[in-house]
Structure 1
Amino acid sequence: MKIKTLFIAPYPAMIPLIEECRGKEDDLDIKIERGNLGHALPYVKNAEANGTEIIISRGGTAKLIEQETNIPVIDVQVSGYDMLRVLTLANDFPGKKAIVGFSNITLGAKTITDILEIGIEVFTVAKEEEVEGLVFELKSKGFELIMGDVVTVEAASKFGLEGILIQSGREAIYDAFYKAKSVYHSFRKKQMENELLKEILKANAENILVTDSKGEKVFEQWNTFTLPPVQPSQLGTLVHRMESPNSVVTMNGKKGEVLKIRVSTLKIGEESFTQFVISELESEKQPSSNVKIEAVPQLPMIIQESEAMKECLGAISAANNRNFWILIGSAGTGKSLIARYIHYLRYQGRGLFASIHAEENMKMPDGFDEDIRTIFIYGAEEISSKKRSGLVKHCKQWTQAGKEVILSLQGETKGFHSAIFDDEANRVYIPSLTERREDIRPMTAYFIASFHQKLGTSAIKIKEEAIELLEQYNWPGNAAELKTFLYDVVTAEKGYTIWKETVAKHLKRKQPRPSQIDEGLLTGTLDQIEKRIIEAVMEEEDQNQTKVSKRLGINRSTLWRKLKQ
């Protein structure tokens, strides 16, 4: 796109030369006008209204225009060639000769006349009003030829002196064209920076980092952080993940804090910039392993070759605009994945997704961060029956506040019937893996590929006979158990293929082993027998107290107390 340029020629003889040079210039769209000093100003006013981007003129006219406009002005300089031409013309003139003009003319003239020892005196004026008085004085001193700009030649003519106009040649005009382009690009860059800052100020954000299209930092402002909480290079990856023009994502800061980052694009002219507005998530300032806040930038991958899973996802897609969901499915069926699926369908990657253990719900603030759109609550069966009504109450409050609330249950659990059978709730039943055996084959392929990409595992193929073994197994732990099982298989496999024998060996480990009771285990007092049993189970479960308490049917505090006895 050409630069819209106005060239104001202070004397008529300059116009043909400009037209000739204009024909060889590809980057400037040049309009030519004739006007000297004050006569040029009406063209300047029109130029501002017409979107002119740069103005070119000469001498006093250029200086006057600069004072009247914010448009960049290029002053056509008098080159050495121009000065030599006029001195050659004046050389044969008899009598005393002088050059009168502004410094753009006289500085070069003085240098040349001194070097060549030419007998021409040089006089410099600062204002147009000084010219006539100086020319009149020179006449009284016997000068007969006056050289200079338009105003100087006009003053010489007024007082009956001979005048020669110092004209600009092609070299000076081409040089002015080059300067015009250079100044325009510098001016435009500054102009864009100013416009960018205006846009940033409009955002009225506290912590801002702005990068250009190359990822280079062009602006930063930190009000609530003493130092930048994240490196600009880390933020670059977020630009490629951005699916909407104003995305919100989360990231860990340098000190481990959870940051909320709003990513948006700023368009200034033809340049694109990326703005990152950064804050620390309020709900994460007291971190808990039972609370996780994240972005869901793309639709989660859910295998749906089986009719059971197609019906499940179909029910989700057909759900109306009610924002309270009940996901019912046994452990390991993928309720958290389904929750993220619902979040993405509703918000298309915008807003944040919060996973919260039911025990934490009473500790959460009344108002969540405004960018948290979906709240997924898991572990509801693990809280006491007294707290369940409070959890349901919280869910209703969050839905009334406009949040999408998803409650995860393993069944139609007592204490949650008021929520499960609420007419305002979307109930979704998640099928077990035995109800969707057709999905085992594609899920296996997906998990193997995923482990290969993330962990660099060797196995990339599984034999048909091995697949059949997987399809025959009941998978009480559902999809989560299948994933864990395949992880164990692929990390142990050093070859490229998983064989039937490998799968059979790993499945055999999952079969219950007949228990062998040590004769000495049941001797002694009841307390001694109980302690030996606990110690034996602890050894079998690798000292994992959670698993031991579950096997023995006691809570962890009771187990801990008995171990201390």
Structure 2
Amino acid sequence: MKIKTLFIAPYPAMIPLIEECRGIEEDLDIKIESGNLGHALPYVKNAEADGTEMIISRGGTAKLIEQETSIPVIDVQVSGYDMLRVLTLANDFPGKKAIVGFSNITLGAKTITDILDIGIEVFTVAKEEEVEALVFDLKSNGFELIMGDVVTVEAAAKFGLEGILIQSGREAIFDSFYKVKSVYHSFRKKQMENELLKAILKVNTENILVADSKGDIVFEQWNTFSSPPIQTSQLLTLVHRIESPNSVVTMKGIKEEVLKIRISNLQIGDESFTQFVISELESEKHASSYVKIEAVPQLPMIIQESEAMKDCLASVSGNNNRNFWVLIGAAGTGKGLIARYIHYLRYQGNGLFASFHAKEHRKMSDGFDKDTRTIFIYGAEETSSKERAELVKHCKQWNQAGKDVILSLYAETEDFYSAIFDDQANRVYIPLLTERKEDIRPMTAYFIASFHQQLGTSAVKIKEEAIELLEQYHWPGNAAELKTFLYDVVTAEKGYTIRKETVAKQLERKKQRPVQIDEGLLTGTLDQIEKRIIEAVMEEENQNQTKVSKRLGINRSTLWRKLKQ
């Protein structure tokens, strides 16, 4: 089969010679058009539509075409014969003579004029826009004959100078035909390799998208989704979250499904690319209502000014080589945060973190997604004695399957002795907030900043006497209670500084109406506790989001987002 080729001649006088050479060439199906520089581009656009496989042109026109098409372009060179012909024509011409053009013309011209000691000066331009100014300067310096390509000859005519077009002869045209065949076969081989790789990817990879360093998509395929399950802009926000060669994160898809996204960097020569491999989270297909799967892309922030918390985190770091953990601490002490801290220390952002209530452990008999590295179980005390024995058994089975297991307990309960005092268990005791008074000040600053950032609350600092009141209080609900208390304070405080009076007023309300903290309400992570509180208020207000948002002091969009988390 002949190679479908478009030959764009930059000047009309070239066409008869191309037609003559085309009659001799047997391997190319050549279509001829005429157009110099920008005038050639409409032919290029049509070529891409009608299946043209190769393009031939010359000089600046060839260079411009290369920038506008993915079709391989062959540049007709000016041969030594071509240069000798034009120099012969100019030899008897009186006056000063010059050759002006792009490097494809001037490099060979300079070589010949130097070897043969011909008195013709050679000038090279990099852009078309440079030609007229250069020709004008040459006229001012007494030059009378200018040789070059179409743009050079047109500029010479504009300023009243003689011009000779350097044309490509049969030798150069036949040489371009040879290059077309050589490049085509090499190009087709690469195309076949690319098609093979795409076919292999289609069979072995579910869904993949690759973006270049500018954020442009260079490759995508969707095998298990009828259409892209997530907005490209959402994926691109993940590029800077890569903290390891193969990071895994989770995101909500367009249809609210939970997607697992594996992110990796690809370096091809000097170019950098980001690859996203996307799939629906396996365990979420069956357990989305009771298990939360998430990525932990960075080390969680844990305030540790107190010796008690420093000792706690030291015990975590000192036993980081085991995969079974028992976290023992009262409700609200932050066991969920510690669990995520352990997960990050172990895997540095790789793998997923699963958390669920102990009552749901039987539903996890089908196992977890292969990228889930850590399993965090809370609410163990709310199970029956029989369920507790089964839970411990399941924990050991998940351990044997290669998963890290973190069991959260309020105290050293007898039913869990087999887990707590197992030789392979890491026991971590989480201190009460009353044992870490030194942390109340920095925790308060952290929570105030967090509420300011998320909710736009006014307060940005707290007075010293107000801090002292916080340090004197006994905090039965620990860090979780401090956080919710400060939420009430910052929403009540309209100034930029939290006053002692505002804190005292909120504390007085606690004394007037003692709160019996429901252990179940404060089970799990701080985010989960917050969501339970919102859901409880929603129930009290008959699902009226306007009333709930007003009561909680947040806007409706924030309320909606928190309910969706």
Report if TM-score (shorter chain) is over 0.5: yes
1:212 and 2:212 aligned: yes
* Distance (Å, rounded) in 1 between the aligned partners of 2:366 and 2:484: 37
Match of 1:85? 86
How many corresponding residue pairs?
370
Match of 1:249? 249
SS at match of 2:209: strand
* Distance (Å, rounded) in 2 between the aligned partners of 1:333 and 1:490: 22
Query: Do the aligned residues in 2 keep the contact of 1:459 with 1:490 (CA within 8 Å)?
Result: yes
* Distance (Å, rounded) in 2 between the aligned partners of 1:201 and 1:257: 27
Deviation at 1:437, TM superposition (A): 0.7
Identity among equivalent pairs (%): 70
Amino acid of the residue matched to residue 324 of structure 2?
F
Deviation at 1:218, TM superposition (A): 1.2
Match of 2:486? 486
Deviation at 1:385, TM superposition (A): 1.2
SS at match of 1:243: coil
Deviation at 1:290, TM superposition (A): 2.9
* Distance (Å, rounded) in 2 between the aligned partners of 1:427 and 1:217: 48
Deviation at 1:413, TM superposition (A): 1.5
* Distance (Å, rounded) in 1 between the aligned partners of 2:372 and 2:513: 47
When normalised by structure 1's length, the TM-score is 0.59
Match of 2:376? 376
Q: What RMSD over aligned residues (CA atoms) do the two structures have, in Å?
A: 4.0
* Distance (Å, rounded) in 1 between the aligned partners of 2:472 and 2:235: 46
Deviation at 1:85, TM superposition (A): 3.0
Query: How do 1:395-414 residues align onto structure 2 when only pairs under 5 Å count?
Result: 395-414=395-414
Q: Mark the CA change 1:265 to 1:200 in structure 2 (over 3 Å): closer, same or farther.
A: farther
Deviation at 1:206, TM superposition (A): 1.1
1:504 and 2:504 aligned: yes
Match of 1:76? 77
Runs of 5+ unmatched residues, structure 2: 1-55, 59-71, 93-164, 516-535, 543-565
* Distance (Å, rounded) in 1 between the aligned partners of 2:477 and 2:196: 55
Query: Do the aligned residues in 1 keep the contact of 2:82 with 2:166 (CA within 8 Å)?
Result: no
* Distance (Å, rounded) in 2 between the aligned partners of 1:367 and 1:352: 14
Deviation at 1:80, TM superposition (A): 13
Match of 1:301? 301
Match of 2:563? none
SS at match of 1:370: coil
* Distance (Å, rounded) in 2 between the aligned partners of 1:318 and 1:276: 35
* Distance (Å, rounded) in 1 between the aligned partners of 2:192 and 2:446: 48
Deviation at 1:367, TM superposition (A): 2.8
Match of 1:340? 340
Amino acid of the residue matched to residue 292 of structure 1?
K
CA deviation vs aligned residue, 1:42-88 (integer Å, no higher than 9, x gap): xxxxxxxxxxxxxx9x9xxxxxxxxxxxx986431479985973884
Which protein is bigger by CA-based radius of gyration?
Answer: 1
Runs of 5+ unmatched residues, structure 1: 1-55, 59-70, 92-165, 516-537, 545-565
SS at match of 2:422: coil
Match of 2:424? 424
1:275 and 2:275 aligned: yes
Deviation at 1:365, TM superposition (A): 3.5
Deviation at 1:202, TM superposition (A): 6.2
* Distance (Å, rounded) in 2 between the aligned partners of 1:358 and 1:77: 80
CA deviation vs aligned residue, 1:297-345 (integer Å, no higher than 9, x gap): 0000000000100100011111152211000000000000000000000
When normalised by structure 2's length, the TM-score is 0.59
Amino acid of the residue matched to residue 235 of structure 1?
L
Moved over 6 A (4+): 78-81, 166-169, 190-197
Match of 2:3? none
* Distance (Å, rounded) in 1 between the aligned partners of 2:422 and 2:344: 24
* Distance (Å, rounded) in 2 between the aligned partners of 1:339 and 1:247: 19
Deviation at 1:393, TM superposition (A): 0.3
Query: How do 1:103-502 residues align onto structure 2 when only pairs under 5 Å count?
Result: 198=197, 201=200, 204-319=204-319, 321-502=321-502
**Which stretch shows the higher mean deviation, 477-486 or 191-200?**
191-200
Q: Mark the CA change 1:343 to 1:439 in structure 2 (over 3 Å): closer, same or farther.
A: same
Query: Do the aligned residues in 2 keep the contact of 1:76 with 1:168 (CA within 8 Å)?
Result: no
* Distance (Å, rounded) in 2 between the aligned partners of 1:432 and 1:254: 42
Amino acid of the residue matched to residue 314 of structure 2?
G
Amino acid of the residue matched to residue 76 of structure 1?
Q
Query: How do 1:90-105 residues align onto structure 2 when only pairs under 5 Å count?
Result: none
Deviation at 1:289, TM superposition (A): 4.1
* Distance (Å, rounded) in 1 between the aligned partners of 2:332 and 2:191: 54
Query: Do the aligned residues in 1 keep the contact of 2:492 with 2:502 (CA within 8 Å)?
Result: no
**Which stretch shows the higher mean deviation, 256-265 or 312-321?**
312-321
* Distance (Å, rounded) in 2 between the aligned partners of 1:325 and 1:501: 43
Deviation at 1:384, TM superposition (A): 1.1
Amino acid of the residue matched to residue 331 of structure 1?
A
* Distance (Å, rounded) in 2 between the aligned partners of 1:194 and 1:502: 71
